[in-house]
Amino acid sequence: MTLGTVLAEANRVAVRKGRAGAGAFAGMKPGPVDWYSFNTGDNTTREWYPQGLSSASDAGGGGDAFVVSWYHKPSSGAERGVRLTFLDPATLRYRHVLLVRALPGGDIAPVNIHAGGVAWYGDLLYVADTTRGLRVFDTRQIFEVNGDDDDAIGRKGGSYHAFGYRYVMPQTDAWTTAGGGSARFSFVAVDRSTERHTLISGEYVDEPGAVGRVARWPLTAGGGLDAGGGTARAVDAYRLPVDRVQGALSHRGTWYLSQTGGSTRNGALVVVGDTTRRRPYPVGPEDLTCVRDSGTLWSVTEFVGRRAIYAVPL
């Protein structure tokens, strides 16, 4: 199943500059230049929380599609892992795809991680797995399941089920820290402005007097990490100037950091170049991506009733 087919058969509708997600922008002046609100069910659910964001601009392909990662926070019942949302701004339609891992014997299971960030490069999607590293998924490997049991995952009664989701994407690869390293992978992004394109990873830290780090990893033309001898080594790494960073992006020598203020206070966009500046940002900002042709920086907000994919100028 191709990603184009999934988008063509998208079953949910976003609203451009919709009121449903605009509550996140209260107190943000100036406000975003553009945004897309999820439908009411996705905006108000307490079962799923959006975290990661990437775009077709990161991937290097045509179109303007976005991908959002959500983690499941069950109030009861089974853990459902991670879902990805693919949104086509041209049609305002979107669809959720459940991430799964293959089990011996041909069964499938959910991917139970926080999924704090997602980065799209070529055909591959990198999903942050906080203490382990990165999970890898391939947009060319999306499968339709024939079961519709909302409470079941895997093979049951001659059909495959995925908690009611029509499409699943199985994990194809993983990267883990070498030698039991202490690095955390809280969010990820892509920098296509470096001489050799790089994957950015970073750490969320919320401890008195402590800050996280960011690193950039070289990418191959095929989309994988460059790993001579089986080990990928960072091109560079930096200590962040502020704490509580939920997303980081470097573009043309400037760093953009998404800093949260919690569930009730506005966050900040911290811009680090020759100087360090703080720009207005909404409540609950998360991962970052940029749409290079339009010169815009995009993020997603996470809290119930305040969820939107939104843009500010770079």
Question: In the chain, pLDDT over 90 holds for what percent of residues?
Answer: 88
Asked whether the predicted pLDDT for residue 183 surpasses 70, the reply is: yes
CA quadruple 16, 189, 272, 291: dihedral, nearest 10: -40
Smallest CA-to-CA distance from 172 within 233, 242, 111, 228 is with: 111
**Residue 12 above 90 pLDDT?**
yes
* 101-129 pLDDT, tens digit each: 999 989 999 999 999 999 999 999 999 99
Under DSSP, the state recorded for 59 is H
Cβ density class 219-241: b for 16+ within 10 Å, e for less: beeebbbeeeeeebebbeeeebe
pLDDT of the residue at 283: 97
Look at the pTM and tell me if it is higher than 0.95.
yes
Alpha-carbon distances, residue 84 vs 98, 169, 203 (angstroms): 6, 9, 21
Across the chain, mean pLDDT equals: 95
Q: Residue 180: what pLDDT?
A: 65
pLDDT of residue 310: 98
Alpha helices in the chain (DSSP H): 3-8, 19-22, 40-44, 56-59
DSSP letters along 237-251, please? EEE-SSS-EEEEEEE
Rounded to whole angstroms, how far apart are CA atoms 178 and 246? 24
Task: Using a pLDDT cut of 70, give the percent of the chain over it.
Answer: 99
Q: Torsion angle of alpha carbons 282, 285, 287, 288, nearest 10°?
A: 10
Query: pLDDT at position 78, please?
Result: 84
Q: How far apart are CA 138 and CA 120, in angstroms?
A: 10
CA distance 98 to 139: 12
Mean pLDDT across 27-51: 96
Tokens at 246, concatenated: 């939920």
pLDDT of residue 116: 97
Q: Is the pLDDT of residue 61 over 70?
A: yes
- Structure-model confidence comparison of residues 314 and 179, the more confident one: 314
Determine the CATH number of domain 3-313: 2.115.10
d(CA 288, CA 267): 14
Whether residue 179 has pLDDT greater than 80: no
Write out pLDDT tens, residues 21-33. 889 999 999 999 9
Domain boundaries, the chain: 3-313
